[in-house]
Amino acid sequence: MPVSAGYHYFAHPAEQQHSKRPPVILIHGAGGNYLNWPPQIRRLAGERIYALDLPGHGQSEGIGRHSIDEYAEDVLKFMKVLNIRAAVLAGISMGSAIALTLALKQPKKIVGLALLGGGAKMRVASKILETAGNSYTFKSTVEMINENCFSANTSPTLIQLSKHHMLKIRPPVLLGDFLACNEFDVTDQLEKITIPALIVCGSEDKMMPLKHSQSLHEGIASSQLHVLENAGHMVMLEQPARVASLLKKFMDELPLRSAL
């Protein structure tokens, strides 16, 4: 998979007839990497897809950031490196905060938003902030986080795989991600967003309960909300086909706009 300017990413090209559709940039959550996005979404038929590893995550170079604004700047740099003038941003949890930030700061570069397990603010449990960056408590914290990221009927294998990926990150990076989330708050700015938004939440989301997605929907005039039953925070891993279908429909309904 390619690396550009230190950013590691997965790329899926669109068929020639769809080459003028805006690309989709997938942005993972705290402590994640591009594998947060299952193949059904990374290889969405007819769409150009880029699944990015943020700095300090996955196979990307650099160190993790401590604010959502800094991560938003990384996504802008990534777009510049790949000569992407405008894109649809799809983010899970922290990734949705990054997408919202860019929608507010660089609206001309954002064609649409897909916000999964998101919210206008993301307060983090004090226990996570106290233990995520400590090498002695890191493993137990990762286990606690992942146990709360999935619905009750999720396959134990899927949860174990999610833990496995998160354990590869360095504790200071995981802590930095959660500190960034904890400081994020655009509650009073949602009405400024006029970009079309797809909002998706699992009915059993414990990390960012449904009320947060409902608030996003109420605040963003051009948004649609979909609540998926029997799914938790990592809704795209639990119900990949359903999320892929919603994203595809959202893309099909966006006003056509050329973006490289």
pLDDT tens column, 172-211: 999 999 999 999 999 999 999 999 999 999 999 999 999 9
- The candidate with the shortest Cα–Cα distance to 129, out of 76, 178, 71, 183, is 178
**CA 241 to chain CA mean position, Å:** 17
Residue 84 lies in a domain: yes
Residue 74: the pLDDT is 97
Q: What angle do CA 35, 243, 154 make, to 5 degrees?
A: 70
% of the chain at pLDDT higher than 90: 91
Residue 1: the pLDDT is 72
d(C-alpha 83, C-alpha 198), whole Å: 25
Residue 18: the pLDDT is 53
Instruction: Please spell the DSSP secondary structure of 161-179, one letter per residue.
Output: HHHHHHTTS-HHHHHHHHH
- How many CA atoms does the CB half-sphere of 127 hold within 13 Å? 6
What angle, 0 to 180 degrees and rounded to 10, lies between the N-to-C axes of helices 94-105 and 68-81?
A: 70
Residue 15 lies in a domain: yes
Residue 260 lies in a domain: no
Per-residue pLDDT reduced to its tens digit, 183-194: 999 999 999 999
Q: Mean pLDDT throughout 25-42? A: 97
Q: Which two tokens stand for residue 184?
A: 């994020």
Residue 259 lies in a domain: no
Instruction: Give the 3-state secondary structure of residue 63.
Output: coil
Instruction: Write out the residue range of the structural domain in which residue 142 sits.
Output: 3-253
Strands of the sheet containing 197-202, edge to edge, are 3-4, 7-12, 49-52, 24-27, 87-92, 110-116, 197-202, 223-228
- The candidate with the shortest Cα–Cα distance to 7, out of 115, 101, 67, 81, is 81
Model confidence at 16: pLDDT above 60 = no
- The candidate with the shortest Cα–Cα distance to 193, out of 162, 220, 161, is 220
- Around Cβ 72, how many Cβ atoms within 10 Å? 23
Q: b or e along 216-234 (b: 16 or more beta carbons within 10 Å of the residue's beta carbon)? A: bbebbeebebbebeebbbb
| Neighbouring-strand partners of residue 228 | 202
Query: Amino acid identity of 48?
Result: R
Residue 244 lies in a domain: yes
| Tally of domains within the chain | 1
Residue 258 banded pLDDT, cuts 50, 70, 90? very low
- Tell how strand 7-12 and strand 49-52 pair up: antiparallel
Q: Is the CB of residue 149 less than 8 Å from the CB of residue 157?
A: no
Residue 258 lies in a domain: no
For the chain, what is the total number of helices (H) and then of strands (E)?
A: 10, 8
Residue 171: the pLDDT is 97
Q: Mean pLDDT throughout 221-240? A: 97
- The candidate with the shortest Cα–Cα distance to 44, out of 259, 244, 252, 246, is 244
Burial of residue 108, with CB atoms counted within 10 A of its CB: 0-12 exposed, 13-18 middle, 19 or more buried: exposed
Residue 130 lies in a domain: yes
First to last CA, the chain: 20
Residue 23 lies in a domain: yes
d(C-alpha 180, C-alpha 174), whole Å: 10
CATH at residue 236: 3.40.50.1820
